Structure formats: structure tokens, C-alpha cells
A = this chain, B = another copy of it.
Amino acid sequence: MAKADPDRVLRDLYMLREVGRFKTGVHRPTLSPDDMQTREWLAGELRAIGHEATIDGIANVYGKAPGDGPHLLCGSHIESQNEAGWLDGALGVVYALEAARACAEDPDLTGKSGVDVMAFADEEGHFSGGFIGSQSFVGDLSDARIEELEDRSGRGSLRHCLDQAGLAGRPRLQIERDRYKGFLEAHIEQGDWLESQGLGIGVVTSIVAIWQYAVRFEGTQNHAGTTRMAIRRDAGRALMEFWRRIEEEFPNAAAERSVWTVGGVTLDPGAPSIIPGGAEMLFQFRDADPEVLNRLKSLLESLVQEANDRGPCPCSLEVLGENTPAVMAPELQAALTASAQEITPGNHALMPSGAGHDAQLLARVMPSAMLFVPSIGGISHHWSEDTSDADIALGAQVYVDAVSRLLKGT
């Protein structure tokens, strides 16, 4: 069996942590010099084990193993959120690289079957909605869409940033579906569920859907000193009342693992002496069950109706996104479970993913699965994000063992 070398995995992850280091985490926005340095590094490591490696026109790094036998596609993203953690993305790329190395070293596989490695571009959404690398690879990103995208932190258009990174004119690679048995992505859990259960390995059953909305209230902007309380149409206050009703009612309609979040609030104009004439809330909820999603949507709509009945500020709902849950492939889940049970018995569980991942795009075109390792304190998207070395090592062993099982059909 191909086996992981945990020391090699930890060495690579610690090395990547130094590129764009921020406190104990990293700051590697997509297409930044630090991000491109890690992509070039990955391509070099892949070439060193005989892969044909390229960085394509959207900054996906693709390393194709030699041989025309059955392969697995393995990977994740390599850029980070701004001033964020060292493992979100990088872990899944380094596990994939380790699996590719282990297969290359396995006399039963080398030159025939193996692991093609992907480091997708901008899963984290520095340019709008995220996932542009995996979207591009599965044929779901148009050239026209690329022209629309802008960096959220003011670095300019995606096209400009691609040019600056030296990727102008490169073709965008498309997946060869027939080459693969499936796609495998490892990731930190980003929640505290594994930790709270005292478990080391999560096998993902599905990736939850995110349903996201802008809720807007229209009031009358006026002077905060001269406008009597009785005649105010305060859009901010209307938003607060709506928010209060969400927090009252959602617990009654939600399922055990449903989550909902008011992530942003804007009062217009937002000045201390002006009664807000407009107010906007960014609201989302997540669940893996379409029935629950529909129930929560109905509740949201009824709260909008209630707000309009209550007055005095008209309330409107804009759908920003309503995707479908991505179900993970049973045969890949089974391989991950079997490897976990053999290597670390009783230390794993099936679980949904509350976060979105590139695997949800790949699941549209071929069998896909994910392995989770615990996040200390459930923290992610923050520089203090961490996972113990022991859990990182164990995850790599299970991951590579499952890859070996799948390629050898054992």
C-alpha cells in the first residue's frame, strides 16, 4: 500500500506557512506574489515526481501523473483569506501532493495509476463569489464572467491581476472526466464538532447549501434632532425589529445542524445625526436538507410579510443565491471510512460540511468526497486557526490509505 510520510506533510505545511506569514497564520490573497510563489513551488514539487505540471490561465495549478490507468483527482485551494489561517486550503493541497508522492513511490502504481493534483484558484472569493478555479475546471466559468470580476480589496480587475501574475494568454484547463475514479478533497473542519466529540477524522456526507439574501428597508431620511419620534420612518429601527423576529422564530423552524447568520448591516447614510432612510441586512442560512431549506425560506418570506404589515418602512427581499446541497459519493465515503477504521479505530464519524468547498463543484461532474480533520476551538478564517500536528499526521495517513484503496480497488 502507498503510505503517507507525516514528516514530509508537516514540513511542507510549515514551509507554506512562512510564505505571506501573518502572526501565526498567513495572508496570501489569490494572485498576490506570495500566492504565486506557492503555486510555482507546487508545480516544481510535482515535476520532481514526474508529473506534467502547469499553472493555467485562471491560476489553477494542475499536476498530471504519468500513466493512462485509472487516476484520482486530489486537491483543494492554496490561497488564503486575508490575514487568515495557515491550513484552510493548504492542508488539502499538501495531502494531495503527499498522495501523489506516495503513489509515485508505490511500485504497484507508478507509471500506471496515480494521483493528479489540483490547487484551485480563489476558492476564497477575493474576486466576488469564490470557486472560480473549480468553476473554470468543470466548464462553469465563462470568459465574459471573468471580465466582470474585481478584487474586493481594491487591486483592480481579475483580468488585470492575472496579467500582473504573468498568466495573460494562457489557456484554461478543462477536466478529463474519463481519466478519474473521483475527486478527493481534505480540509480542516472549520467548526468544533469533531473536537466536541473527541474525534480525529470526519467523513463528509454532503456539503450544505447556502441560501443568501439581502433584506432591505425603506424609510425616510431625516434630521435626528428635529424629527419627533412619533413621525419617524426609521429604516434602521425596522431592520432591528425584523432581525429580532428572525432570532425569535428561526430556532423553531431549524433542524439540528441548521445555521443562520446576519453577517452585514448597513444603515444609509450611517451618520450619527441622521435618521436612516435606508437599511440593508445580509442574511444567510445553511442546511444539507432541501426540505429544511424550503421551510426556512418560507419562514423568511412570512417575516418579510409581517414587517410590511407592521410598517411603516416597506421591506423587500432579494435572493443573492440559493444553491443545492452537494451529496458526496458513497463509494468514496466508504473508502475513507474503511481507512479510518483500520488506522485509527473508533476515531471517525460521518458529518455534513457546513462550509462550501471546491468539492461541491467537482461533485457536479464526478464522484467526489471530503475528509475533515479537527479545528482547534472550531476557529477558522482567522490567523489563530490551528490543528494539532498529530491530527494533521493522522489525517494524511487515512487520506493516502484511502487513495491507495481506491486506485487498487481493494
Known: A226-B354, A228-B192, A272-B284. A263 touches B267 (CB 8 A): yes
Determine the chain B residues whose CB is within 8 A of the CB of A15 once the complex forms: none
Known: A223-B380, A265-B265, A354-B223. A240 touches B231 (CB 8 A): no
* Copies of this chain: 2
A282 at the interface (CB under 8 A from B): yes
Interface residues of A in 247-275 (CB under 8 A from B): 247, 251, 254, 257-267, 270-275
Determine the chain B residues whose CB is within 8 A of the CB of A192 once the complex forms: 227-228, 231
Asked if residues A381 and B274 are in contact (CB atoms below 8 Å), the reply is: yes
Interface bits A212-244 vs B (CB < 8 Å: 1, else 0) = 100000001111111111010010110011011
Interface residues of A in 43-80 (CB under 8 A from B): none
Asked if residues B378 and A231 are in contact (CB atoms below 8 Å), the reply is: yes
Asked if residues B378 and A272 are in contact (CB atoms below 8 Å), the reply is: no
A382 and B271 CA atoms in complex are apart in Å by: 13
Asked if residues A381 and B272 are in contact (CB atoms below 8 Å), the reply is: no
A208 and B254 CA atoms in complex are apart in Å by: 47
The contact of A355 among B191, B208, B226, B258, by CB within 8 Å, is B226
Interface bits A368-407 vs B (CB < 8 Å: 1, else 0) = 0000000100111110000000000000000000000000
The contact of A378 among B226, B237, B273, B381, by CB within 8 Å, is B226
Asked if residues A225 and B378 are in contact (CB atoms below 8 Å), the reply is: no
A205 at the interface (CB under 8 A from B): no
Asked if residues A264 and B272 are in contact (CB atoms below 8 Å), the reply is: yes
Determine the chain B residues whose CB is within 8 A of the CB of A237 once the complex forms: 247, 262
The contact of A225 among B210, B229, B382, by CB within 8 Å, is B210
Closest to A378 in B: B227
Asked if residues A208 and B231 are in contact (CB atoms below 8 Å), the reply is: no
Closest to A210 in B: B225
A352 and B353 CA atoms in complex are apart in Å by: 59
A232 to chain B, nearest CB (A): 9
Determine the chain B residues whose CB is within 8 A of the CB of A231 once the complex forms: 192, 378
A356 at the interface (CB under 8 A from B): yes
A24 and B234 CA atoms in complex are apart in Å by: 24
A286 at the interface (CB under 8 A from B): yes
Determine the chain B residues whose CB is within 8 A of the CB of A254 once the complex forms: 229
A190 at the interface (CB under 8 A from B): yes
Closest to A221 in B: B382
Asked if residues A223 and B263 are in contact (CB atoms below 8 Å), the reply is: no
A191 and B220 CA atoms in complex are apart in Å by: 13
Closest to A229 in B: B259
A228 and B261 CA atoms in complex are apart in Å by: 11
A193 at the interface (CB under 8 A from B): yes
Q: A228-B257, A264-B267 are in contact. List 9 more A-B contacts (CB 8 A).
A: A191-B228, A208-B225, A221-B381, A224-B286, A227-B259, A237-B247, A264-B272, A265-B266, A272-B320
Shortest Cβ-Cβ A-B pairs, 6 listed: A191-B226, A225-B354, A190-B226, A224-B261, A226-B354, A225-B355
Q: List 6 A-B contacts (CB under 8 A).
A: A226-B354, A263-B270, A263-B275, A265-B267, A272-B320, A274-B381
